[in-house]
Chains A and B, each alone.
Chain A
């Protein structure tokens, strides 16, 4: 082995390791990639938050690009992203909600106080639909395309940045796809 290789080897190994660790610093272990991306949205049929007698199912999303937002009144970060959902609704984005492990009274009061960006809310008291959708921390927001396929999942509160860089471009792209 030439001498310079022997001297350079530890340096190269160090740089490789440092690079790996540096990359690790910017990864968030709380963001677990969802295996549901590009799969048909899990079926559900739940009572509406506002009208318990009426059922809502994922079939109601069909034909429109939909944001499906998982939220609860006990979820602090949900309050934080709420104004952004209001803005999106005003821009004409179709938003459905999954009210997750909440009580009807609390949820209705919340929507009265802060505004209601949702076309409708499915009421998931026991969190079973949440489990089917792989929800592990509210808020979570799914983008479902016209065919009812999940295209994107945002974990944690939506931010101006994530809406501008991820959500809106994706919505636009999916809107253009006919079918």
Chain B
């Protein structure tokens, strides 16, 4: 049992090691390039080879190259926006995990709110109709009689 646990821990740790290693090239952060800024940016960018990983996570060759590119552009003093622009002109909006708001992405950005609005509209209408129905289901006479019956049923209604 103890051995199995140890083995399990070892396997987990191996996974960690490779995940960390992907982001750790020997870049020099003592100069122009701020490490936090660099790390923040590569998390926002998608690796095109393993598409559900960011540049920070991916160990693909292209991800290495693109990280090097990002670091060098930062070293040259380019802003985040300029670096993103550099990648978008080459690979398209697809490299961005945070897609820009523009006509082709309106449905992506505003679609959920439209659906929510439709849902609320349906809810309000349904509730209104239901309210009306309970009102008109019985005539005044019937309601009076109903009250009597229900009233006499109550355990403490005597």
Contact = CB atoms under 8 A, between A and B. Distances in A.
A42 B90 CA distance: 9
Nearest to B68: A126
Interface residues of B, number: 14
B124 to A, nearest CB: 15
B27 to A, nearest CB: 16
A136 B95 CA distance: 11
Interface residues of A, number: 19
Contacts of A34: 91-92
A155 to B, nearest CB: 10
A169 to B, nearest CB: 25
Contacts, number: 41
Nearest to A133: B90
A35 B91 contact: yes
Residue among A36, A134, A137 with the highest chain B CB neighbour number at 10 A: A134
Contacts of A127: 61-62, 65
B48 interface: yes
Interface in A77-105: 101
B94 A137 contact: no
B51 A134 contact: no
B43 interface: no
Contacts of A126: 65
A33 B62 CA distance: 17
Contacts of B51: 29-30
9 contacts: A29-B51, A32-B91, A32-B94, A36-B89, A101-B61, A131-B69, A136-B49, A136-B91, A137-B62
Given A29-B51, A34-B91, 13 more contacts: A32-B48, A32-B92, A33-B92, A35-B91, A36-B90, A101-B61, A127-B65, A131-B66, A133-B90, A136-B49, A136-B62, A136-B91, A137-B48
